[in-house]
Amino acid sequence: MSDPKNPFEAMMNQAQEMAKGFPAMDAFTPKGFEAMMGTMPKDMMEMMFGNTLNEGGLDARTRMLLTLAGLTMQGAQNDMAVRQTVRHALEAGATKQHIVETIGQMSVFAGIPAMTRALELAQAVLDEKEGDA
């Protein structure tokens, strides 16, 4: 090896050159990607991870609220995941009160900053839903 370059640096340079070859990458935004993702219909949620195949188990609404609680516990770090979970929870039959109470309950375990962040993200979705109505 006559070139004493760091292999990681060479790999990163190669990846950056490849990315330049994809003009669509200039237009990519996480919000744009999120807008492409649809909300799963309630019937499909019930079939895939609700009561349809797991009779007597948790329904889709409860599972979505538990997911929202878990995301809040992690500090609501993944904006897109929190917003998508709120959308799916609403589709599965959760109310605004269910969502706010779920996030609020996590303040005891995750802290006020995590709860506040999750509430801000949830409110953005709730505002979006009110605008559609």
Residue boundaries of the structural domains of the chain: 29-132
Name the pTM for this structure. 0.69
pLDDT at 2 over 60: no
Do 94 and 76 touch, CB atoms closer than 8 A?
Answer: no
Q: Which residue has the higher pLDDT, 6 or 5?
A: 6
Tokens of 11: 């790999």
- For residue range 23-51, list pLDDT tens digits in order: 666 666 666 666 667 777 877 877 777 66
Topology (CATH level 3) of domain 29-132? AhpD-like (1.20.1290)
- For residue range 105-118, list pLDDT tens digits in order: 999 999 999 999 99
37: helix, strand or coil: coil
DSSP per residue, 47-100 = HHHSTTTSTTS--HHHHHHHHHHHHHHTTS--HHHHHHHHHHHHHTT--HHHHH
- For residue range 83-102, list pLDDT tens digits in order: 999 999 999 999 999 999 99
Tokens of 124: 């953005």
Tokens of 51: 């009561």
